[in-house]
Amino acid sequence: MAVPMPSKRRSLVVQTSMDAYTPPDTSSGSEDEGSVQGDSQGTPTSSQGSINMEHWISQAIHGSTTSTTSSSSTQSGGSGAAHRLADVMAQTHIENHSAPPDVTTYTSEHSIQVERPQGSTARVAPKYGNAELMETGDGVPVSSRVSAKIQQLVNTLKRPKRPPLREFFVDDFEELLEVQQPDPNQPKPEGAQMLAMRGEQLGVVTNWPPSLEAALQRWGTISPKAPCLTTMDTNGKPLYILTYGKLWTRSMKVAYNILHKLGTKQEPMVRPGDRVTLVFPNNDPAAFMVAFYGCLLAEVVPVPIEVPLTRKDAGSQQIGFLLGSCGVTVALTSDACHKGLPKSPTGEIPQFKGWPKLLWFVTESKHLSKPPRDWFPHIKDANNDTAYIEYKTCKDGSVLGVTVTRIALLTHCQALTQACGYTEAETIVNVLDFKKDVGLWHGILTSVMNMMHVISIPYSLMKVNPLSWIQKVCQYKAKVACVKSRDMHWALVAHRDQRDINLSSLRMLIVADGANPWSISSCDAFLNVFQSKGLRQEVICPCASSPEALTVAIRRPTDDSNQPPGRGVLSMHGLTYGVIRVDSEEKLSVLTVQDVGLVMPGAIMCSVKPDGIPQLCKTDEIGELCVCAIATGTSYYGLSGMTKNTFEVFPMTSSGGPITEYPFIRTGLLGFIGPGGLVFVIGKMDGLMVVSGRRHNADDIVATALAVEPMKFVYRGRIAVFSVSVLHDERIVIVAEQRPDST
């Protein structure tokens, strides 16, 4: 069966290079994709008022144009969203339909003028017309006879063999200004100033625990035999079942040993508030979970990282810098992982390049001392102490640590519980990395708060059987699954019309990389194939997240199958100028984007200009999404300067005043807030490249490369896109790994 790939563009080799940038037609759904389905009340269950995207955008131009400058210009997540967001965007029909950007060649209308020497103009004339007048060393002319040959030699030596660099590139200020002048015909944002969007109120549920440790204590004592986590082996068989009783007792054991068995009684190696790193492989979530909650109970700060493969691994050097800056001296690991680490001839684990000196501590229960009967962990209400540090890899390869406080951790779990409608004893299948990001938040943290049962699928099993996660959904009748679009894609590739597949139990399929614009094609293709297997359209829930802001937005599960998801067809030409313009689906020069749902409960979101002062965007302008909420990261550990620029942003109105007294956090996501409060993401700040004043996104260029170079020539997941500075401008570089069997 022919399976549509995530990027379904036709080969553009026969077209001009100017058309080579156009994105694929990412739609394969049957619904009308030219409109965004809004919600006049801002709630996912209401189906009032389907708002046509083009009509909605043009309304902002021809309707109300009053700019909101009040410092409290926030809009509730939905009351009257359709009316008040009529000026959320603007649309003008640009008569000049200029060609889309070409990412394969560089053609600038304002190219630098090259002055080439003509004939003898490059010759340097003698300072004095009379060859007999020469200068001494101090510049005083003297009278002397010089032969014609010597004079000719002097003139020859004075004339350079090649024109100097300035003949090729004139680095004059005027020339640079000329290069930077914008195209007078470029589209410009014309809408009113946007309104900050407020999410629904975070509900106060009486039985919510005061902290995550308190939740673990509750379930560990009340329901000790309830399954918490089931791990799978590479054959898809259950390898181990961790109950809430075992998680509670083993976490207590780890906490006691961390505090009392490392160092001496007078000089313990680890005290409450210290940082320790967690080094666990991707196929052992149970050991990681026990160690993580052991750290929370001991009030030490876990820093989860990847397992180092070699002593001189380049990526692990940056991790080592993070560990050093966090003051980490102890690494918690499993028995199997400890045995697999590189060893010196004496059997000791060598110090990895760039890493601080570490004491490796195995957390298996058989290696630990039993705590005394009178010892009990200090469980208190969530506060502003640091709960854990999640690492983030930047565009340049550097690694930063994002600190998450205990109150932020608890509030985030509460917000996810409310947004996803989690209930006790639900089963969730998790394919994601459980050590960070969406996999950690849903599969390790929020699951324990709600006493859920997590079925963890290791990626080693996914490589052998890409359908394994679907089979586990059917086997356990799971209500929720956490996947990425790649998992949906490879399930499609492996699918052979198996008869025993039934996905009717799923009420929520969380797509963790839903913020990637190209994930929509995987979602559409997956729905088309598995709709006949019980999968409902409203089950697919893309979400947007970032290490700094945690979960930014998520599409809510709904029982209304008549409410199609929000999507917009945007002009790529407009997007390169940061402007939203609705286009038609038939063109190749469009980007079809799906919504990532509504703002999180208890949060406020706005969009600010990516460069310079954080000024609110206009309603038809692409900006960086910023969030104000308790449930976010608080800082980059030990980096106060970078923290201020990211975690302490005060969005400004056009009149120059802040919209609120509370700081916002930059999410690193580029996008806009559409009709009904739906959030749309079109790229990331880290993937943004500015070439000749126009913005290009790395994800778009990867999709372009895959469309031009068929999959049989290039590995889909091994393409790197970055930019380099050349002559005061950026140039795009694409590195793709060729398949060994291709010619």
Q: What are 415-463's pLDDT values in tens digits?
A: 999 999 999 999 999 999 999 999 999 999 999 999 999 999 999 999 9
Burial of 119 by CB count in 10 Å (0-12 exposed, 13-18 middle, 19+ buried)? Answer: exposed
What pLDDT does residue 34 have? 35
Range 477-502 average pLDDT: 91
Q: What are phi and psi of 688, to 5 degrees?
A: -85, 130
> Which residue's structure tokens are 């750290």?
295
End-to-end CA distance of the chain: 25
What CA–CA distance (Å, rounded) separates 663 from 535? Answer: 41
Q: Give me the mean pLDDT over the 84-90 stretch.
A: 37
Q: What is the DSSP letter of 479?
A: S
Q: How far apart are CA 154 and CA 147, in angstroms?
A: 11
Q: Return the higher-pLDDT residue of 275 and 157.
A: 275
pLDDT at position 4: 46
What is the DSSP secondary-structure string of 353-377?
TTPPP-EEEE--GGGSPPPPTT---
pLDDT of 3 strictly over 80? no
Residue 27 C-alpha from the chain's centroid: 23
511, 523 contact by CB (below 8 A): yes
Mean pLDDT of the 354-360 span:
92
Least confident of 90-94, 655-659, 668-672: 90-94
Does the pLDDT value for residue 362 go beyond 50?
Answer: yes
Under DSSP, the state recorded for 731 is E
Average pLDDT (567-587) is: 87
CA distance linking residue 456 with residue 228, whole number of Å:
11
Which residues, 6+ apart, have CB-to-CB distance to 618 below 8 Å? 90, 189, 190, 191, 192, 193, 194
- 564 or 271: which carries more pLDDT confidence? 271
Tell me what pLDDT residue 588 has: 74
pLDDT recorded at residue 167:
53
246 or 717, greater pLDDT: 246
How much is the CA Rg of the chain, to the nearest whole Å? Answer: 30
pLDDT for the residue numbered 414:
96
Query: Is-contact 142 134, C-beta < 8 A?
Result: yes
Residues 6+ apart with CB under 8 A from 272: 259, 298, 299, 300
> Which token pair is 381?
């209400």
Lowest mean pLDDT among 28-42, 322-336, 489-503: 28-42
Distance of alpha carbon 293 from alpha carbon 649, whole angstroms = 32
The residue-averaged pLDDT of 371-392 equals: 94
DSSP letter at 5 equals P
* Secondary structure (3-state) at 9: coil
Beta-strand runs (E) in 363-435? 386-393, 399-405, 427-430
Query: Residues 6 or more apart from 315 whose CB is under 8 A from it?
Result: 306, 393, 397
Going from the N-terminus, what domains does the chain have, and what CATH number goes with each?
A: 207-227+240-416 (3.40.50.12780), 686-738 (no CATH)
C-alpha atoms less than 13 angstroms from C-alpha of 678 in its C-beta half-sphere: 31
At 614 the pLDDT is 94
What is the arithmetic mean of pLDDT over 209-222?
Answer: 96
Nearest to 514 by CA among 526, 502, 524, 523: 523
Q: Which residue has the tokens 């390169």?
A: 576
- Report the C-alpha gap between 702 and 721 in whole angstroms: 7
CA distance 599 to 632: 13
CA pair distance 246, 393, nearest whole angstrom: 34
Span 377-381, mean pLDDT?
Answer: 93
Interval 312-338: pLDDT, tens: 776 678 898 999 999 999 999 999 999
Q: How far is CA 353 from CA 312, 326, 342, in A?
A: 5, 17, 12
What is the maximum span of the chain, computed from C-alpha positions, in angstroms? 112
At residue 690, the pLDDT reads 85
The residue whose two tokens read 């509900």 is 203
Does the pLDDT value for residue 12 go beyond 80? no
- The pLDDT score that the predictor gives to residue 700 is 81
Q: What is the pLDDT of residue 271?
A: 94
Residue 168: pLDDT above 80? no
pLDDT for residue 214: 97
**What DSSP string runs through 250-316?**
HHHHHHHHHHHSSB-SSSBS--TT-EEEEE--TT-HHHHHHHHHHHHHHT-EEEEEPPP-STT-HHH
More confident residue, 214 or 172: 214
Mean pLDDT across the stretch 255-283?
Answer: 93
Tokens of 546: 């970032």
Q: From CA 462, how far away is CA 476, in angstroms rounded?
A: 17
pTM above 0.85?
no
In this structure, is the dihedral angle defined by the CA atoms of residues 128, 131, 135 and 141, taken in order, positive or negative? negative
* Lowest-confidence region among 81-90, 317-326, 472-481: 81-90
What percentage of the chain has pLDDT greater than the value 90? 51
Chain segment 690-719, per-residue pLDDT in tens: 887 888 888 888 877 777 766 667 776 788
Q: Looking at residue 241, what is its pLDDT?
A: 97
Residue in this structure with the two tokens 């004893």, named with its chain if needed? 425
Contact call for residues 551 and 543 (beta carbons, < 8 A): yes
For the cut 60, the answer to whether the pLDDT of residue 489 exceeds it is yes
Q: Residue 107 has what pLDDT? A: 37
Residue 56 confidence (pLDDT): 56
Mean pLDDT of 509-521: 91
Please report the pLDDT score of residue 332 as a whole number: 97
The answer to whether 557 and 538 have CB atoms below 8 angstroms apart is yes
